[in-house]
Amino acid sequence: MEARINPFGHPLANKMFKHLTGAGMALVTDSTLPESLQELVKIRASQINGCGGCLDMHTKEAAAAGETSVRLALVGAWREATVYTDAERAALALTEYGTRLADGYGIPDDVWDAAAKHFDEDQLIALTGLIALINAFNRINVMLRIPAGEYKVGQYATKG
């Protein structure tokens, strides 16, 4: 599969990705949301959206950060899996509802309340931003048909 447009090296795409990536870096550096949880959220949204590029990236990044193969394999079936904490389950539920807004459900109060039980206000803002951001990346990659499989851990890491 080939990309419809290769955004890497495209001047406007580079500007757009710089801003999106900057928002993502703020979530990593300025939030207390655990990095492992952030990767699980990115993986679940990417599964729902069918974004191979993001799945390639975030499963590899999660594994490199120490996430187990069992937990990575079971993200799509998190409700039936016993390997996730209550906080992770709340975040994954919020991710699913936040990703499937077009289904018309919005975010049910019980889903929000479950997340609010485990995360403080700053973490909820970070979680909300993270879900929105990964959905933006998913949509760009799917529309441009960015192929998956060649990602190397740290490939897009920014130098501080």
Nearest in space to 91 (alpha carbons), one of 25, 33, 135? 33
Tokens of 9: 């090296």
CATH node for 35-144: 1.20.1290.10
Model confidence pLDDT, tens digit, residues 3-40: 888 888 888 988 998 999 999 889 888 999 999 999 99
Per-residue model confidence as pLDDT tens digits over 34-85:
999 999 999 999 999 999 999 999 999 999 999 999 999 999 999 999 999 9
pLDDT, tens digit, 9 for 90 and up, residues 127-141: 999 999 999 999 999
* CA pseudo-torsion sign 40, 67, 81, 58: positive
For the CA atoms of 45, 153, 72, 139, what is the dihedral angle to 10 degrees?
A: 10
Distances (CA, A) of 46 to 57, 99, 121, 134, 159: 10, 9, 25, 7, 25
* Whole-structure pTM value: 0.93
